Amino acid sequence: MHKYAAYVTELIGTFFLVLTVGASVLTGSPLAPLAIGAALMVMVYAGGHISGGHYNPSVTMGVLLRRRIEVADAVAYWVAQIIGGVLGAAVAYWVVNPRGVAMLSLSGRAWLAAALVEALFTFALAYVMLNVATSSSNPNNSFYGLAIGFTVTAGIVAVGRISGGMFNPAVVAGALVMGLLPWYTAALYLVVQLLAGAVAGVVFLALNPDEVQSRPRVEEAAR
């Protein structure tokens, strides 16, 4: 299987994730967290065997530092994820056609609180993903999609009203396109989320010193 299939899989999965985020939020669905977590879960199950089912630049950052993906492939994943997120947001905005949707505007202590919870739950998401989907202690398991998806659900329910519950730079890019975030908040989220993914990768390696990498997952998928 050619590795470009992994890039396309990441674009498709992120597209449907952000489309679900945009549509459920812009329509005011009370079940938005469940819808978003479920969308991630099914996309992980659908494409996990091809690309690893990241659909999140922060997770890719963690996997890169965990040495399960090469730098060139990580960059390609990021490009695919951001493109997928922007396309998903554009489609959601067009089909819902919202009127008077207020941007998430934060300042002072609330701004810092939002950045903190985004960092914490992005770390939780990347940390869970690394442990259930990349560890040799969990070979060929069938539960990692549920674990990852419900991590997102838990985060949205817990802190969604504080930060918007994004935990994903691709979702932040989509929110910016839909007018849900001012640029300065989006920039802050992008920084803290990518750093959180990197920290998760470092922590995983520190807590799992016996993990030995034989080849990047993208290379495995391409052979």
Position 217 scores a pLDDT of 53
Tell me the three state secondary structure of residue 99: coil
Can you tell me the distance from the alpha carbon of 84 to that of 193, in angstroms, rounded to the nearest whole number? 18
Distance CA 33, CA 60 (A): 22
Q: How far is CA 151 from CA 25, 67, 73, 104, 183, in A?
A: 18, 23, 25, 23, 26
**CA distances to 65, 67, 77, 92 from 119, in Å:** 17, 22, 21, 26
pTM over 0.85: no
Q: What is the pLDDT of residues 119-164, one digit of tens each?
A: 989 998 998 888 888 877 667 777 788 889 989 998 898 888 788 8
Position 64 scores a pLDDT of: 94
pLDDT for res 212: 52
Instruction: Kindly give the residue spans of alpha helices, DSSP state H, lying in the chain.
Output: 4-26, 32-51, 57-65, 71-96, 108-133, 144-163, 169-177, 183-207, 217-222
Q: Which CATH superfamily is domain 4-99+106-222 in?
A: Glycerol uptake facilitator protein. (1.20.1080.10)
Q: Quick one: pLDDT at residue 97?
A: 60
> Which phi-psi region, left, alpha or beta, contains residue 216 (left: φ > 0; alpha: ψ -120 to 50)?
beta
Residues of the chain with pLDDT under 70: 1-2, 97-108, 137-138, 212-223
Q: Please tell me the predicted confidence (pLDDT) of residue 102.
A: 47
Helix (H) or strand (E) holding 209: none
Place of tokens 């504080």: 162
pLDDT of residue 127: 86
> Alpha-carbon distance 110 to 107, whole Å?
6
Q: Residue 172 corresponds to which tokens in the numbers above? A: 């932040």
CA 170/CA 181 separation, integer angstroms: 13
For 36: left if phi > 0, alpha if psi spans -120 to 50, otherwise beta; the answer is alpha
